[in-house]
Chain A
Amino acid sequence: QVQLQQWGAGLLKPSETLSLTCAVYGGSFSGYYWSWIRQPPGKGLEWIGEINHSGRTNYNLSLKSRVTMSLDTSKNQFSLKLTSVTAADTAVYYCARGIRGVVIIHYYYYMDVWGRGTTVTVSS
């Protein structure tokens, strides 16, 4: 059974860089889209972006200038960096495994395995 274990600093000051890592246990790294999602307190889910096993990235346009995702296939890990954080970046950050496919003419995308979440607070 695939599990994702995530970690990273939970308290940051404004202008610092958020750095989170997610390790994949019990499954293959290839063939999937490794994603990051966040949820500000009391608000909905926000897709941050994804990286596939080849290292191709796709970021939320609203965060693209500050986001970098990378992967380490030798360790089955992928990472998120978000620069110049502000209080608006305070959220629970989740990593997840993404799958995509097609049924006749319709494409589908879903994330089936999620990490437990890391609470990141930005405060001076």
Chain B
Amino acid sequence: SSELTQDPAVSVALGQTVRITCQGDSLRSYYATWYQQKPGQAPILVIYAKDNRPSGIPDRFSGSSSGNTASLTITGAQAEDEADYYCYSRDSSGDHMVFGGGTKLTVL
């Protein structure tokens, strides 16, 4: 099991808002990064340093953090947002990196 805990699956109706969460003790000290991965493709960076979006990532993606929980919010989910989402940060020792187990997002 990962030191960063994610819900295995989440669903959202087209156009609605969804929040994907990542929990872990290390998140009190280290910001989470979020990746989107579609089948057969390499992961794509969507959020870094808590709430920063790389160029080319739609502004419907946003990040936040509170206590031991980081969140990725998609406001107005689109069909193309259906994918696996992974959080990434330091482990609880602070010495190594770790991914969350991933959340499969289904857009209904």
Contact = CB atoms under 8 A, between A and B. Distances in A.
A110 B53 CA distance: 12
Interface in B15-53: 29-31, 33, 35, 37, 42-45, 48-50
Interface string B84-100: 10101110000111111
A45 B86 contact: yes
A61 B86 contact: no
Contacts of A44: 2, 84, 86, 99-102
Contacts of B2: 44
A45 B100 CA distance: 8
Given A111-B45, A112-B54, A116-B42, A106 B97 contact: no
Contact of B30 (A59, A60, A94, A108): A108
Contacts of A61: 96
Contacts of B102: 44-45
Nearest to A113: B45
Interface of A: 35, 37, 44-47, 50, 58-61, 94, 99, 101, 103, 105-112, 114-117
12 contacts: A44-B101, A45-B86, A45-B102, A46-B99, A58-B95, A59-B96, A106-B30, A107-B31, A108-B50, A111-B33, A111-B88, A114-B43
